[in-house]
Structure 1
Amino acid sequence: MTNWPKSYPFALIIALMALTPIGVLFSLASDSAAFFDARNLTVLVNTLALMLWTVIGSVLIGVPLAFFTAYVNIPFRRLFLILFAAPLALPSYLGAFTLYFAFGRGGEIESITGITTPSLEGLWGAALVMSLYTYPFVMLTTRATLLSLDASLVNAARTLGQTLFMSLWRIVLPRVINSIAAGALLSALYALSDFGTPAIMGFDTFTRVIFVEYNAFGLSQAAMLSLQLMLIVVLVLFVESRIRGDKERPGRHLTLWLPPWLSGTWLLSFMPIVLLSIFLPLGIFTLWLVREGAGDFDVTYAWNSAYASMLAAIAAVVLAVPVAHGAIAGKAGRVMERISYLGFGVPGIVMGTALVYLGLQIPVLYQTLALLVFAYVLRFLPLAVGTIRSTAENQDAGLVKAARVLGASPREAFMRITLPLTMRGMVAGAALVFLEAMRELPATLMLGPTGFETLATYLWRVYEAGYFGRAAVPGLLLVLLSGFGLVLMLSGERRAEFSVSEDSRR
């Protein structure tokens, strides 16, 4: 008889929980009149157009920045890396909110400088914002591969008379194509799942139309649209799963010692990106705070965000432990882990639609904090699973075996050895879930209890009411929390030293 790991039953239950929203959507969508109609075609074209332009923008910004931060030796390189990666930590709806009110006739830029700027709205406004907040996906995935490449081929090409640019173009770029594609697909997934940016920019994508249908009590149509969006997401996830980076033996790293004027010129050319994505939103929020004060902001909103996110973080870590250890134990556990990852690919607006219907069928759950926390857990469980699994895989298995030889039961060995050694991953996973739940907008709008206002939902109510000056405090708090998440994300990155100069050929 096969002795199944004790983590498997728990992992199976959690995997079935992750499948719940999909099953609910199919049940709800069965009442819809049609799977696809002419209006859906417009929404589909809009969604794909936003995804396409977001990918193009993120690649055009992210790839040059990856080369610059990986290879060019500049003072304070670590600081500039943090600045260039910072947009990844911010929810894009914060940038959309401030850029929308900063640009255009009557915008904050015109009121301060007297200069009329083009308005940001529609497809181009949404694509610009999405590109500004997703290019770090491309930058970081490409940069990681660049740092692992052996520079000997570049050195050889330079010795044979190739210019530096041609050496990078013909030798380095083909070796990082897969990493660029992986980052681009992450940008595509973000563009597909984001609700706040297209909604603020007034551009009808699946996420915005689903929310409109929900508000119009068209749950069945919202579910049908959600399934169509999920189909696109699954296709993108499938393509992403087929991309594998080429592994090379580590070798000598590359550093480009550019003339100060040239590296300074490149650095200045990248500054507008940081200005638009980071400093302009911070400046606009600060301006509103100075001009209008805190308004009617209630500190309870921050407490509500923290409380719900903390509950979600604790629950996610508790559920992630058996999933992570089940994945390590065998192939069946890995399948259950992959199923649990499904929630992270489900856009928040889709998760909200499914769980609203589930709450209607189980009245005791409808508009309760428990249902909102359940949505957070399903959405962000993979963050906790990933950190716990990576920590657990690096443990020395001999410690548990030694404990068993000395008479410890499996439970005692787990509690006294495995669990304490996994604690670092559990804390990191909890922090990531907490931060993502704090920023989640569409699921919170749809599932939050009546009167339960969070930082994200208060920001949205302010936008709907047109009292944008009152967004200063929640906006700055979300930026502060997102900055903490960025520090956590980059804290483990290794630093590298390189050795090829622009003026020398070896």
Structure 2
Amino acid sequence: MGSVSVVIALLLITPAVYLVIRVVGIGIDEAVALLFRPRTGQLLWRTAQLAVIVTCASIVVGVGLAWCVAHGVRRGRAVVIALLAAPLAIPSYVSGFVWVRLFPGFEGLWAAALVLTLACYPLVMLPVMAVISGTGRADEDAARTLGCGPVGAFLRVTLPRIRPVVIAGALLVALYAISDFGGPAIVRFEPFTVGIYNAYNGTLDRSVAALYGLVLALIAVVLAVAERRMRRDVDTGSTPLRARQVQDRPVAWGVVTSVVMVGVCVPVVGLCTEISESQRLGFDDLGDLIAWVGPYAGTTMELSVQAAMVIVLLALPLAFFVSRPRTRTGDAVEVVSYLGYTLPGVTVALSMVFLGTRLLPDYYLTAAMLIATYAVLFLPVCLGPVRSGVDAIPPQMAEVSRTLRAGPVATAVRVQLPLLAPAVLAGAALAFLSVAKELPATLMLAPIGTRTLATDMWSLNNDMNYGRAAVLGLVLIVVASIPTAALSALFGKAGGR
């Protein structure tokens, strides 16, 4: 498993190698001068502000929603979870565009923080919900019988158990916040990603953009190392002693409704407004609509499913390798796995173009290279929940399995993988959603003639055909709701155990 993980790490380090090659060409002295100029410090400060605000807000909202759904939502649980996870399917630039159109003057740091928080809180909510659904409520019920209220039981019992996945989700949120371009750009806020985009388009010399990319990669390394040090083993060996019926609570429903209104209804209403005001829709009935969007939706789902399966297959050996026992090689592999996720999609795509044109020309502009690019970009969104699920499995279970003469493979298949099912499904859903709305890598590396919902929506937006682009945005939300609906059904069924 160690050799497999090292091979995967070599793929994931490709963007960093590309950036180093570009930066080396400008010389160390010039690179240092560019690194310490005032503009670099300004971009770093803005990026740090945005990342801290979005991460803290996403933790509060994500954990709060997971707790509300687990303890205060009984009817329609699957639909509620699907709606709460729906913002993952809404590209940040689409959400930002809607907010700007609905509320003139919506711009700056706090505007970018709101847009990214609405896009990121499911990265915390879904893994936390997976742990809550998979570990049972016996300990929390016992705390309640000993006189703890709901808040006390959560702080003393639930919070220590979900801490690893909260930290893992917070890492993903922070990396997303420092790597996203569309959301901050549309609300006129300039962190590193917007600076990289401006550097790519402002001059023929791409060295400054590569240097900024290396700064983001260094930030990713620092965050990954900090997250790994903060994580601690948590005893989750208890099992549910009895089922407990969840009761609908008005407060929980109020919180859930408020978040759905802000995170889902506002973008959907904005898109519907664009559709109603458009004079260039180009279809007259449902049949014409299906004939138009059907091929794009089919391609989007096909690529997303294939990429999610590949990402899960890559994440499983990595999760077991970096979990127990912890080694220096495992630490290095885990840190490397986050490099692609923290870089703008255009930077990762350019690195894969560099690799494809020089080393793998036969695979350039093929589905295989596109899916490999998706793996570099989005492996962390799956690795986080899966690794946290592995950490939550008591090591005694594997030891008992081996004493019963089960080998490592049999132990993994018969004992560990069934316990990992909620975490694996959560990771697969997150990967599917991330791939479905990805834009720059798909534009640059998709096989000739391949068009997805995201790429065609981008083309229509450039042509100022906002009505048709809004239609594709709504269809993208529907397509991305499929895995979240399946996942929410699992959580809804597990939540009552």
Q: Same fold (TM over 0.5)?
A: yes
CA deviation profile, 1:211-247 (whole Å, cap 9, x unmatched):
2222334422211111101111222222222233632
Instruction: Say yes or no: does 1:247 pair with 2:235.
Output: yes
Of 332, 341, 347, the residue aligned with 2:343 is: 347
CA deviation profile, 1:150-189 (whole Å, cap 9, x unmatched):
332333235xxxxx47635864576468354443333222
Q: Is the 1:63–1:138 Cα contact (8 Å) retained in structure 2?
A: yes
CA deviation profile, 1:371-425 (whole Å, cap 9, x unmatched):
544312333456788999999x999999xx99x9xxxxxxxx99xxx9xxx9x99
Consecutive unaligned residues of structure 2, counting only runs of 5 or more, are 284-291
Of 17, 22, 36, the residue aligned with 1:23 is: 17
Of 97, 107, 123, the residue aligned with 1:137 is: 123
Cα deviation for residue 68 of structure 1 reads 2.1
Cα deviation for residue 248 of structure 1 reads 4.8
Q: Distance in 2 between matches of 1:219 and 1:18?
A: 22
Letter in 1 for 2:163: N
Letter in 2 for 1:43: L
Alignment of 1:145-156 (within 5 A): 145=132, 148=137, 149-156=139-146
Q: How many residues align?
A: 456
Q: Is the 2:82–2:481 Cα contact (8 Å) retained in structure 1?
A: no
CA deviation profile, 1:87-132 (whole Å, cap 9, x unmatched):
345443442233232322xxxxxxxxxxxxxx42222211111112
Q: Is the 1:309–1:438 Cα contact (8 Å) retained in structure 2?
A: yes
Higher RCO by CA contacts (8 Å cutoff, separation 6 or greater): 2
For the residue of structure 2 that corresponds to 1:59, the secondary structure is: helix
Q: Distance in 2 between matches of 1:61 and 1:322?
A: 31
Q: Is the 1:152–1:252 Cα contact (8 Å) retained in structure 2?
A: no
Instruction: Say yes or no: does 1:210 pair with 2:196.
Output: yes
For the residue of structure 2 that corresponds to 1:275, the secondary structure is: helix
| Deviation larger for 187-196 or 167-176 | 167-176
Alignment of 1:483-494 (within 5 A): 483-493=481-491
Letter in 1 for 2:55: V
Q: Distance in 2 between matches of 1:321 and 1:142?
A: 19
For the residue of structure 2 that corresponds to 1:150, the secondary structure is: helix
Cα deviation for residue 37 of structure 1 reads 2.1
The structure that has the greater radius of gyration is 1
Q: Is the 2:220–2:338 Cα contact (8 Å) retained in structure 1?
A: no
Matched with 1:377 is 375
Letter in 1 for 2:373: A
For the residue of structure 2 that corresponds to 1:294, the secondary structure is: coil
How has the CA–CA distance of structure 1 residues 478 and 443 changed in structure 2, closer, same or farther, with 3 Å as cutoff? same
Instruction: Say yes or no: does 1:277 pair with 2:263.
Output: yes
The two structures, once aligned, show a CA RMSD in angstroms of 4.8
CA deviation profile, 1:433-454 (whole Å, cap 9, x unmatched):
5553332123234545788653
How has the CA–CA distance of structure 1 residues 52 and 477 changed in structure 2, closer, same or farther, with 3 Å as cutoff? same
For the residue of structure 2 that corresponds to 1:240, the secondary structure is: helix
Instruction: Say yes or no: does 1:441 pair with 2:427.
Output: no
Cα deviation for residue 134 of structure 1 reads 1.9
Higher helix share: 2
Letter in 1 for 2:115: V
Q: Is the 1:356–1:447 Cα contact (8 Å) retained in structure 2?
A: yes
Q: Distance in 1 between matches of 2:22 and 2:261?
A: 45
Of 217, 228, 240, the residue aligned with 1:230 is: 217
Letter in 1 for 2:70: A
Q: Distance in 2 between matches of 1:255 and 1:318?
A: 35
Matched with 2:113 is 127
Alignment of 1:175-186 (within 5 A): 175=160, 178=163, 180-186=166-172
Identical positions, percent: 30
Matched with 2:289 is none
Q: Is the 1:440–1:456 Cα contact (8 Å) retained in structure 2?
A: yes
Q: Distance in 2 between matches of 1:129 and 1:276?
A: 10
Q: Is the 2:12–2:340 Cα contact (8 Å) retained in structure 1?
A: no
How has the CA–CA distance of structure 1 residues 454 and 327 changed in structure 2, closer, same or farther, with 3 Å as cutoff? same
Cα deviation for residue 50 of structure 1 reads 1.1
Cα deviation for residue 353 of structure 1 reads 3.9
Cα deviation for residue 27 of structure 1 reads 1.0
Matched with 2:286 is none
CA deviation profile, 1:14-38 (whole Å, cap 9, x unmatched):
4322222221211111234333421
Q: Distance in 2 between matches of 1:385 and 1:169?
A: 26
Q: Is the 1:90–1:479 Cα contact (8 Å) retained in structure 2?
A: yes
How has the CA–CA distance of structure 1 residues 304 and 215 changed in structure 2, closer, same or farther, with 3 Å as cutoff? farther
TM-score norm. by structure 1 comes to 0.71
Q: Distance in 2 between matches of 1:185 and 1:322?
A: 20
How has the CA–CA distance of structure 1 residues 334 and 359 changed in structure 2, closer, same or farther, with 3 Å as cutoff? same
Letter in 1 for 2:69: T
Instruction: Say yes or no: does 1:167 pair with 2:158.
Output: no
How has the CA–CA distance of structure 1 residues 209 and 24 changed in structure 2, closer, same or farther, with 3 Å as cutoff? same
Matched with 2:467 is 469
Letter in 1 for 2:262: L
Matched with 2:85 is 85
Q: Distance in 2 between matches of 1:165 and 1:319?
A: 39
CA deviation profile, 1:294-318 (whole Å, cap 9, x unmatched):
3497766556645655665676678
Consecutive unaligned residues of structure 1, counting only runs of 5 or more, are 1-6, 105-118, 159-163, 405-412, 499-506
Matched with 1:52 is 52
Letter in 2 for 1:152: A
Letter in 1 for 2:374: Y
Matched with 1:454 is 452
Matched with 1:408 is none
Matched with 2:494 is 495
Letter in 2 for 1:67: W
Cα deviation for residue 271 of structure 1 reads 1.9
For the residue of structure 1 that corresponds to 2:146, the secondary structure is: helix
Q: Distance in 2 between matches of 1:434 and 1:167?
A: 36
Alignment of 1:309-348 (within 5 A): 309=304, 312=307, 338=334, 341-342=337-338, 345-348=341-344
CA deviation profile, 1:55-111 (whole Å, cap 9, x unmatched):
23223423432332222365444443433333345443442233232322xxxxxxx
